[in-house]
Structure 1
Amino acid sequence: MTQNLRTGKLGEQMAAAYLEEAGYRILEQNYRCRFGEIDIIARDGDTIVFVEVKSRRSDKYGLPQLAVGPDKQMRISKISLFYLQTKRLDSYNARFDVVAVSLKPEGCRIELIKDAFELAYGR
């Protein structure tokens, strides 16, 4: 397994634990469909939350959350709509959160960005 994959998996594990501690109930991890993959799907109260986790070991390429650009938002939006329809949950409120995990040698930091972006339409 490459260093990037190990960093990603560790970040996802840390994010799931952090979300559970914050009161989220994890429904799915690494959910895959024909549109791609979403890291975590959870419930926060009566809201279905689609969570993208971004992990970094340094700031060389910028803050982790900045990697969730328009293309990624579009892909996550398609996956979320597919999930809600196939699970018959389309009557639920939904939102998109991002968890940024910094795994620097001087210490780890987790930042939850609730309602990080709106449902993206197009293409």
Structure 2
Amino acid sequence: MNVLNKDIGSYGEDLACEYLLDIKHKILARNFRSKLGEIDIITFFNNMIIFTEVKSRYTNSYGSPMESVTYYKQKLIIKLSSYYILINKLNDYNIRYDVIEIFFNKSNQNFTINHIKDAFRAY
């Protein structure tokens, strides 16, 4: 991953956190990592633990941001969420998997946030 993509991703995650705080989510963790991978944002809202993947883009040339959350990536997030729940003893809560898409213009001044609630499920 080049530096520009990492910067765009970090900026997108910052914007997603601000958005989630504005809609009254409590942030439990950012960039939760294990040897399996990473979950961008973990929040608590309405007595539910929500695991959120953030995808930022300038263009849909390579598909929508949501399309980049592949079946493999979903399974990885589900495994990581199970681990997070286990180590934090949060078995008594319902969970949800969201995706936040952030679309930038070329100057990064204007952006659009699309919050896809319950974007995928663990079956």
**Is the pair's TM-score, using the shorter chain for normalization, greater than 0.5?**
yes
TM-superposition CA deviations, 1:73-108 (whole Å, max 9, x none): 000000000000110001210000000001123831
Check conservation: 1:42, 1:48, Cα contact below 8 A. Answer: yes
Identity %: 38
Where structure 2 has 5 or more consecutive residues not aligned to the other structure, the ranges are none
2:98 counterpart of 1:97: yes
Aligned to 2:116: 113
- Give the deviation of 1:35 after TM superposition: 1.7
In structure 2, give the amino acid aligned to 1:111. Answer: N
Provide the C-alpha distance between the structure 1 equivalents of 2:86 and 2:78, rounded to a whole number of angstroms.
Answer: 12
Size of the alignment, in residue pairs?
A: 120
Matched residue SS, 1:63: coil
TM-score, normalising length from structure 1?
A: 0.93
TM-superposition CA deviations, 1:34-59 (whole Å, max 9, x none): 22100000001200000000001112
Check conservation: 1:54, 1:65, Cα contact below 8 A. Answer: yes
Q: For 1:58-97, what aligned pairs fall within 5 Å after superposition? A: 58-97=59-98
TM-score, normalising length from structure 2?
A: 0.93
Provide the C-alpha distance between the structure 2 equivalents of 1:68 and 1:10, rounded to a whole number of angstroms.
Answer: 19
In structure 2, give the amino acid aligned to 1:12. Answer: E
